Structure 1
Amino acid sequence: MEQHYVIGVDIGTQGTKTALFSVDGQKVAESFEKSELICPAPGEVCQEPEEIYGSVVRTIRQSIERAGVPKEKILALGMDSQMAGIMAVDKDFKAVGPYDSWLDTRCAPYIMKMKQQAEDEIIRKTGGPVTCTHGPKILHRKYEFPQEYARIAKFVLPGTYVAGRLCGLKAEDAYIDYTHLHFTGFADNQNKSWDSGLLMEFGIEKEKMPDIVSPWKVVGALTKAAAEESGLSEGTKVVAGCGDSAASALGAGIVEKNMIYDVAGTASIFACSTDNYTPDQNEKTILFSRSVIDGLYTPLAYISGGGLCLKWFLEQHGESYAYWNREAEKIEAGSRGLYFVPHFSGRTCPGVPDMRGAFSGLSFYHQAGHMYRSILESIAYEYHLYFSILKEQNPHIAPQAIYGAGGGTKSGIFNQIKADVLGIPYRPLEDADTAVYASAMLAAFGIGRIPDLKAAMKVQYKEEIYMPQKGNSGLYKGYAKQYARLLKLLGEFY
């Protein structure tokens, strides 16, 4: 039978990754381009829309060239992208201003505004607590940049913007898929619709919000100009796609309830899967997100820059991740009472936007290796806190393992620390980059080339399983409790 192909694109914080797959799921070629984050002032992080679009068409072309596959054999394209940031387009789908990154904290005053006016209702309807996400960012544009806001026809995500450019869409074609609804601040998550009451409460026009669609919906086809830029054929289908963490979870095989999942990437994301919608109205920490699989939810919490904290450490101290992982292995559990707080750009879950990072408990005994290990442990302590809340809301959860994806799973010591702190075996995936695969299979499913999306998620795990070490697990219970106390004290300080 003649072979055909699909493309998956992951528009991440650190860069854009594109991969070409056969419709039966075999990777043929891939390409990566680093992002250009613009940080002109403290708390300000953005990207130029043209740079985002350019990174997509360039990596698509590079992947096709490396594969040597005839463009006529490539049937469709799916994209996932960063979820919590927002951008906007005018009536002709031209970008209005830059992409406001999820790492940008300038919307902090509007987080407080939304909390004061309707926090409980927002959590109940959207499933997400008020954090540095779409709602406050939209209000920031409305009040701080009124002339720009007046030009905005639709608020969109990076993947939507790129799809619009590729397919020649207009503002009335703008969309958002349902995996983002917990981040919006204005949606009715259960009913997959915009909530008129919340929009009215904050003075946001419903016509500025895009249509809510399924991730596999075909949203357009490549124009002649976009085909020439990307190396694809004119008319190649494009599906809506989903958020990057949703794609990662799908590609990792999180397609049934009662599973635990870790994304050890730029953001450190901890999630479970359930078919019960139970938004976190007590602790206001867990974001109750939708899975790509309709009817399944993947409640999660995350550290905005967990992986970025490790990158920051390397930039200060030199050497490689491998070197510091070896140093961390020499250090005893708990890092001799040294704690690290990874919230360099504010605490997201729950929202404390003014919180900043810290080392606590430093003594003359501590060396750089202790500091590095304490960063790894802090992320595991955050997961311990999230898991405790998830178990309170969903006491039936009894996971057999934590399934790990992302670049951080290459670190054996990091995997072991998570297993020890949580008391659950840790299983890293063979291919840590699951998002591009999921996006490609969404494209294949959207055009009818595969009949069952869940069945297409063929996941392979590494042979090594990290089992909890009884002695360390006992020690870590106390350290995790102290870490939670430290966070509470710091939150009061800020």
Structure 2
Amino acid sequence: MKKTLLMSVDLGTSFIKTGVYNTDGECVAESLEAVKDYRPKPGVFIQKGEELFDSVLSCMKNVCTTLGNNAKNIEAIAFTGQMSGFMGVNERWEDITTWSCSLDSRYIPYANRQMSLLKDKFLEISGTNFPAMAPKFEWYNTEFPEESKKIVKYLMISGYVIGRLGDLAIEDAVIDRSYISWTGLADVNNDQWSKEICEAIGLDSKYLPNIVNCNHVCGYLTEKMASVIGLKSGIPLVSGAGDKVAGCLGTGTVEPGDLVFEASSYGEISCCVEEYRPDTKARRLDVLASAIPGEYYATHFIAGSGITLDWFINTFIRNDEEELGDAFARIEKKAMELTPGSDGLMSIGLLGGSSMPLDGTLRGMWMGHSWSHKKEHFYRSLLESFTFDFSLALDSIERLYPEYKMNDVTIVGGGANSSIWPQMNADVTGKTYYKLNRKDASMLATSIIAGNAIGLFPDLKQTAKQFSERSDKFSPNFGNQEIYVKHKKLYEDYTKELHSFYKGIQNLQS
């Protein structure tokens, strides 16, 4: 084990994960701790700050127990995790609102109202098609007025954990630049809060944390917290980056024009760019500020794409006692034998609606099926629908950034292990796809940021490229691309033209 160690803490929705890395980018110990949540009724999903923080402490303590005496070699701690949510605290860092992540949808009516008034401002200034913190502020302030009076700062979960671990003064609360787009409150081009947007929703920016770079040392681990965890006190607490941005860094997606496709629960395609250019034409892109100052990621995600695939397998394919992975492998083997276009079966897989462009009325649909279609046709068409959606986002990126050569894509996440999806993406987009040689991109990147903050890794870009290597190659079949381009156009048309159809169904249920 290398002497100097770096700790990464991932603040996930369901789990807290802690990894410890040496200076060669090797994970030498890790721990996982479940996070408790409350779902008292549909649309309500909350996590109590104190319980969440206890899970963080427990997870950090467990990994230190695994390390034993080597825990004394940890020299910096950095953070990654959820990028969309809202928490309000008082001057003593006490949780007033609870942590309300993206799964807590009580704010949606306020989001719809704000979008009707500020849709273009959110995209052009803050870089997002659908903000979270801005409408959550209005929701809580309106529906819980007395509790709102106790709030001194509105935070992301990483800022809350850092403040507690370092016992920071509340005026020193931070948010790193990678998170600011999805708040809907920031001027992303200038790494500052937008006076225009804040005034429009009635929020005084004094209630917002300080925006810092991802390698910012926010404070130091207190003696009290160090004693609980099993670490030495005074370890630098580094801001880190949100999980999507950290994932981009950890895959070596750091040069303008570099592309990464994260095939995960919330699938996402991202391109490293040098400036933000809003996609006002198609509205298929958000922007996320990079961990590297001055750079950004033009990004598109599908809400719950991986969750939809799991739903399909669990509902229609998986047998009793069968492992989920085995069920996937079984249906994919059959789906591979089918021709592009699934023998005339098409799908819309947006079970949670479309985030980019924003259309909350869209849901799932299969069309064109006959008695000849089998389960594998439905599965393949679902994969094809997601691939068309991501390919349309790539078209927007290439339209907005024509100066970049975008010939290949790194694919990571659970979908990278599919026997069919990487090749399908290559065929639809006409680009070469490569798998990454490791599965811990965001945690690795967080350790790199921690090391950079204390001078171990002077160049974030070079270190990220050094630690990430690509393996399996998937070259496009241009014959298949000719077939797919027609299906992709139909998919784009249908998601627009069928809006009233979906709306009609939903009206019947209201």
TM bracket, shorter-chain basis = over 0.9
Letter in 2 for 1:477: V
**How far off is 1:69 after superposition?**
4.8
Q: Distance in 1 between matches of 2:342 and 2:470?
A: 28
Counterpart residue number, 1:217: 216
Normalised TM-score (structure 1): 0.94
**How far off is 1:168 after superposition?**
1.8
Q: Distance in 1 between matches of 2:494 and 2:451?
A: 47
- Identity rate of aligned residues, in percent? 31
Pairing partner for 1:359 from 323, 343, 366: 366
- Tell me: CA distance 1:338–1:152, structure 2 relative to 1, closer, same or farther (3 Å): farther
**How far off is 1:137 after superposition?**
2.0
**Does the 8 A contact of 1:430 with 1:462 survive in 2?**
yes
Pairing partner for 1:411 from 402, 418, 423: 418
1:265 aligns with 2:270: no
Aligned length: 493
- Tell me: CA distance 1:63–1:337, structure 2 relative to 1, closer, same or farther (3 Å): farther
Pairing partner for 2:387 from 380, 390, 395: 380
1:104 aligns with 2:104: yes
Aligned ranges 1:74-473 → 2 under 5 Å: 74-129=74-129, 131-316=130-315, 317-318=317-318, 319=322, 320=324, 321-457=328-464, 458-473=466-481
Counterpart residue number, 1:9: 9
Deviations 1:191-237 (A, max 9, x none): 11111121111111211111111111111122233223323222222
Q: Distance in 2 between matches of 1:288 and 1:116?
A: 20
Counterpart residue number, 2:507: none
Letter in 1 for 2:487: Y
Q: Distance in 1 between matches of 2:428 and 2:41?
A: 36
**How far off is 1:2 after superposition?**
7.1
**How far off is 1:375 after superposition?**
2.5
**How far off is 1:162 after superposition?**
1.5
**Does the 8 A contact of 1:337 with 1:361 survive in 2?**
yes
- Tell me: CA distance 1:302–1:359, structure 2 relative to 1, closer, same or farther (3 Å): same
Letter in 2 for 1:82: Q
Structure 1 unpaired stretches of 5+: none
Q: Distance in 1 between matches of 2:92 and 2:359?
A: 37
Structure 2 unpaired stretches of 5+: 504-510
Deviations 1:286-326 (A, max 9, x none): 11221111111111010121111122223323242333332
The farther-off stretch of 40-49 and 419-428 is 40-49
Counterpart residue number, 2:506: none
SS of the residue aligned with 1:57? helix
Normalised TM-score (structure 2): 0.91
Q: Distance in 1 between matches of 2:40 and 2:368?
A: 33
Q: Distance in 2 between matches of 1:301 and 1:113?
A: 23
Q: Distance in 1 between matches of 2:473 and 2:39?
A: 39
What is the alpha-carbon root mean square deviation over aligned residues?
Answer: 2.1
**How far off is 1:404 after superposition?**
1.4
Q: Distance in 2 between matches of 1:34 and 1:367?
A: 38
Counterpart residue number, 1:475: 483
Pairing partner for 1:484 from 483, 492, 504: 492
- Tell me: CA distance 1:314–1:149, structure 2 relative to 1, closer, same or farther (3 Å): farther
**Does the 8 A contact of 2:45 with 2:100 survive in 1?**
yes
